[in-house]
Structure 1
Amino acid sequence: MRLDVVSIFPDYLAPLDLSLIGKARRDGLLDLTVHDLRDFAHDRHRTVDDTPYGGGAGMVMKPQPWSEALDHVVAQGSSAFPGAAERVPTLIVPGPGGEPFTQQIAKDLAEEPWLAFACGRYEGIDERVYEWAGERMPVRILSLGDYVLNGGEVAVLAMVEAIARLLPGVIGNAESLIEESHEDGLLEYPVYTKPAEWDGRAVPEVLLGGNHRAIAEWRHEQRVQRTAARRPDLLPPVAAAAALADLEERVATPADAPDLQVLTRACWAPEFARYGMFGAGEEDLETVRDGIQEWDTRVWRRDGTLIASVRVRPHPTREATWQIGRLMVAPYLQGRGLGRELLAYAESLAPEDIRTFWLNTGAKSTENLRMYRKAGYRVRPGEGEFPGTVDLTKRLVSAGD
């Protein structure tokens, strides 16, 4: 795997020469190059930042050094892939406004042959850089957590370690990766070593008996208990329907438009950023209000906060077809089955004469497509109603069929 990192503090990345990651570099498993962004600033002070338009505190990183640096990365790195036409990296930009970096994302990125990291500083990078880069390579904005750092270097250190340790040969004993925290949605079980008793504290008896089945059962139970105590959000819901039932549900009104606009942006932004479509799909408040008038839009709130929404209507051009759209769950609640429950609810609103359910989603929205297929939907041939999308339908079987 090839890795390129662009930073104004290249020495910050020195720890990548240590431990297993450093060994992987020396063994040729990782080809990692760090680039100094200031090398691409051409004034005598090597300036990479300037004051923000519109006023405000802090400085913003200028677009010109970043475009030259990324062009240099692509030109230099392409030689590492002989015979691969127009090879480009996936660009990772750490930032608190990105999608959460998870173990699954680390696994996905470990399958990529080439990653580049852009370490922002100050108030961030000029937004036009994201748009410019998205026209040339895949771009992903990833967040290490819900907090703010001084720059992207710390996040890059963490991400590189999480990704690189999954590469074959980096970890000596590959089996040690199997039962780690987050590998299957649970945290890791407690571990112990010699002596069997220390400071009046004994190792659990089950670990000393040699009964491997009992040990495996104990470890699984400990993983569930630890996850429930420390990270209950990782556990699957007992019933998504019960979770929806606990929320306040009603028909949307124009007064809901501002919150719907925010929820739509939050749900769509990671997908658009993944495909380099920055700013796509943005709707003004008037458009959102028009949608509320044209569709039967349902919203769910908890303590006044908008949590989820879906909208339905008879399809305007397809006879006996129920159109389902804008199925949205707040990002921090996704992955718990609420989307599937919303879909079932949207289907239940259909009149008795409906024979087909119809919906539309991004052609590369793998998680959405997986959920819809499990619910019985099938992708229609050809491009969807909108560019870059697919249409899906599910036909209802009536008693006369």
Structure 2
Amino acid sequence: MRFDLISVFPEFFDVLKLSLVGKAREHGLLDIHAHNLRDWTTDPHRTVDDTPAGGGAGMVMRPDIWGKAIDTALRAGSGRQVLAIPTPSGTPLTQRACEDLSHADQVIVACGRYEGIDARVAQHYAGQAEVFEFSLGDYVLNGGEIAAVALVEAVGRLIPGVVGNAQSLVEESFSEAGLLEYPVYTRPEEWRGLTIPSVLTSGDHGAARRWRRDRALDRTVERRPEMIAALDAATLDKKDRRYLASLGYLVPKSAPHPERAEVRPASASDVPALVALAARTFPDACPPAMSPASIAAFINEHLSERAFAEYLADPHWVTTVLISGGRPAGYTLALLPEGNGVAGAEDGAPDGVVERDGPLVELSKVYVDRAYRGTGATAWLMDATLARLDEATSDYPRPVVWLGTNAGNRRAQHAYRKAGFEKVTTREFLVGEERNSDVVMARPLRVA
């Protein structure tokens, strides 16, 4: 691969004789040529700039000088040719752009100075080569040389053979994984009171890989959340998705990328979407033989817009909503009793069956939209709900929360057991005009 670097300070590029790039040049993997722009001038002062048209501060680099230099460089190359122009107003240089450039045959880097290069240069050569105006970041340098070196390093190391261990290209920041790199460690194991995380010295390579993956997710969420939102969902396994849920991102089924999510108390503005969500999800909790008429009657009485408005207006009802991608994806309804009493006595509360020293709270509804099941959303929503109920009953040493779920709904029972609930009894629950056999489960709100 050939690089032609054109600058008024070509000696700046002597640094490219060092390290991996220098070795790659020696081995013929990279062909780098530094040119002095002033070699194409004809006046005694070797002038490359002039005053800006229309007035203004500084000087602008002349297109006629640049044209002769670029023409010479283009004649020396062939195949796919790219003219790269560093400029603060260019497209940010990304790993994806570098990967694309690594497939070019020749990259010419025109290093501007002063107020930049006459805009006609980029305009003219767009018809002869690919023109790539790029920026290293939202700041201004004195010239394009540092950006040129960065481009050669970032693109050159992607050429096969330049980096000895190709696997390191996969694991590093901005790689195909789309994440920042995890923290790295080496000997000594203890340094100035700081130790290497024990998982890395345990000999359990699977655990070490998982730890590194989780730390990469941590770093990316903290430092570059826009990268999380751009992750290809197809590259995320089940553990990735559950860990992302703990960091505030969900990956619903068939979604191309993770979604930013939050769990919060429901508000009046959520009611229309909550009603629609309840209508979609409640039938999934009912036994297959239950009639649509009974399901519709229950929804109309307990999950209508009027019902949700009443829940939100009553301080004894605790309504919590999971928002993902800007819309409700799950919700819970819980009923707090008066003082040290029992909530849901008429619904089969297991008072006297469970040991408690505080109120018996009813967790009446826990529903998550189908696309979000298995993503970690249910556990997140449950944890947030239990935390709210714990806070609401903090005056008591051992409050307990209970719920009822259809006896045939193994999926729900499994989820509740994972959340710390245990079966304590059974009940008959009326849905419309039909009796429903439920398992009653309970757990202390505070688990030691």
TM over 0.5: yes
Residue 121 of structure 2 corresponds to which residue in structure 1? Answer: 129
Tell me the TM-score normalised to structure 2 length.
0.51
| Counterpart amino acid of residue 190 in structure 1 | P
Question: Are the aligned partners of 1:74 and 1:88 in contact in 2 as well (CA < 8 Å)?
Answer: no
Q: CA deviation at 1:164?
A: 0.4
| 2:68 matched residue in structure 1 | 68
**2: distance between equivalents of 1:107 and 1:88?**
14
Alignment partners' CA distance in 1, 2:75 and 2:147: 25
Shift of 1:76: 2.3
Partners of 2:128 and 2:83 in 1: how far apart? 10
2:228 is matched with which residue: 232, 235, 248?
Answer: 235
Q: Secondary structure at the match of 2:113?
A: coil
Matched ranges for 1:161-180 at <5 A: 161-180=153-172
Q: Among residues 131, 134, 137, which one is paired with 1:142 in the alignment?
A: 134
Q: Counterparts of 1:60-139 in structure 2 under 5 Å?
A: 60-78=60-78, 87=79, 89-139=81-131
Q: Give, in whole Å, the separation in 2 of the partners of 1:159 and 1:74.
A: 19
Taking the aligned partners of 2:162 and 2:259, their CA distance within structure 1 comes to: 44
SS in 2 for 1:22: helix
Aligned match of 1:151? 143
Question: Structure 1 residues 150 and 211 mapped into 2: Cα distance closer, same or farther (>3 Å)?
Answer: same
Q: Which residue of 1 aligns with 2:53?
A: 53
Letter in 2 for 1:157: V
Cα offset for 1:174? 1.2
Aligned 8 A contact 1:96 1:146 in 2: yes
2:354 aligned partner: none
1:256-271 residue pairs with structure 2 within 5 A? Answer: none
Q: Please name the residue that 1:4 is paired with.
A: 4
The alpha-carbon deviation at position 242 of structure 1 amounts to 8.1
Cα 1:143–1:130 change in 2 (3 A) is same
Q: What RMSD, in angstroms, separates the aligned Cα atoms of the two structures? A: 2.2
Q: Residues of 2 paired with 1:188 and 1:54: CA distance?
A: 47
Residues 276-299 of structure 1 deviation map (CA, whole Å, 9 limit, x = unaligned): xxxxxxxxxxxxxxxxxxxxxxxx
Is this contact kept in 2: 1:189–1:220, CA < 8 A? Answer: yes
Deviation by residue 1:213-252 (Cα, 9 ceiling, x = unmatched): 1111111111111112222222117479988xxxxxxxxx
Paired AA for residue 39 in structure 2: D
Unpaired runs of 5+ in structure 2? 231-248, 251-256, 261-324, 328-448
Residues 86-116 of structure 1, C-alpha deviations (whole Å, 9 max, x = no match): x462111111111110011111111111111
The correspondence of residues 33-48 of structure 1 with structure 2, limited to 5 A, is 33-48=33-48
Measure, in 1, the Cα distance between the counterparts of 2:133 and 2:54: 24
Which of these residues, 158, 161, 181, is aligned with residue 188 of structure 1?
A: 181
Structure 1 unaligned spans of 5+: 79-86, 244-336, 342-401
Which of 210, 215, 220 aligns to 1:222? It is 215
Change (3 A) 1:188 1:104: same
Residue 201 to residue 147, structure 1, CA distance change in 2 (3 Å):
same
One-letter amino acid matched to 1:216:
R
- Per the TM alignment, residue 173 of structure 1 is displaced from its structure 2 partner at its CA by 1.3
Aligned-partner Cα distance in 1 for 2:132–2:259:
34
In structure 2, what is the Cα distance between the partners aligned to 1:186 and 1:166? 17
SS of structure 1 residue aligned to 2:218: helix
What letter matches 2:111 in structure 1? C
Give yes or no for the alignment of 1:15 onto 2:15.
Answer: yes
- Contact 2:9–2:36 under 8 Å retained in 1: yes
| 1:62 Cα deviation after fit | 0.4
The 3-state SS of whatever aligns with 1:136 is coil
Q: Displacement, 1:175?
A: 1.4
Using the size of structure 1 for normalisation, the TM-score is 0.57
What CA distance in whole angstroms lies between the structure 1 residues aligned with 2:171 and 2:149? 23
Paired residue secondary structure (1:191):
coil
Judge conservation of contact 2:229–2:258 (CA < 8 Å) in 1. no
Deviations 1:286-327 (A, max 9, x none): xxxxxxxxxxxxxxxxxxxxxxxxxxxxxxxxxxxxxxxxxx
Q: Where does 1:240-389 land on structure 2 (aligned, <5 Å)?
A: none
Decide whether the 8 Å contact of 1:98 with 1:142 is kept in 2: yes
Give, in whole Å, the separation in 2 of the partners of 1:71 and 1:8: 17
Alignment partners' CA distance in 2, 1:88 and 1:221: 39
CA distance in structure 1 between the partners assigned to 2:24 and 2:183 by the alignment: 28
Distance in 2 between the 1:52 and 1:219 partners? Answer: 52
Secondary structure of 2:229's counterpart equals coil
The percentage of aligned residue pairs carrying the same residue is 51
Deviation at 1:16, TM superposition (A): 0.5
CA distance in 2, matches of 1:77, 1:219: 43
User: Secondary structure in 2 aligned to 1:235?
Assistant: helix
Q: What amino acid sits opposite 1:111 in the alignment?
A: H
Partners of 2:157 and 2:178 in 1: CA distance: 19
1:265 matched to which residue of 2? Answer: none
Deviations 1:7-40 (A, max 9, x none): 1110011101111101101110011111111011
Instruction: After TM superposition, give the deviation of residue 153 of structure 1 in Å.
Output: 0.3
Letter in 2 for 1:189: Y
Distance 2:23 2:196 in 1: 34
Q: How far off is 1:77 after superposition? A: 2.6
Structure 1 residues 224 and 156, CA gap change in structure 2 (3 angstroms): same
Alignment partners' CA distance in 1, 2:192 and 2:71: 59
SS in 2 for 1:178: helix
Residue 70 to residue 169, structure 1, CA distance change in 2 (3 Å): same
CA distances 1:177-232 after superposition (whole Å, capped 9, x unpaired): 11101112211111111111121211111111111111111111111111122222
CA shift digits 1:244-283 (9 cap, x unpaired)? xxxxxxxxxxxxxxxxxxxxxxxxxxxxxxxxxxxxxxxx
For 2:3, what is the secondary structure of its paired residue? strand
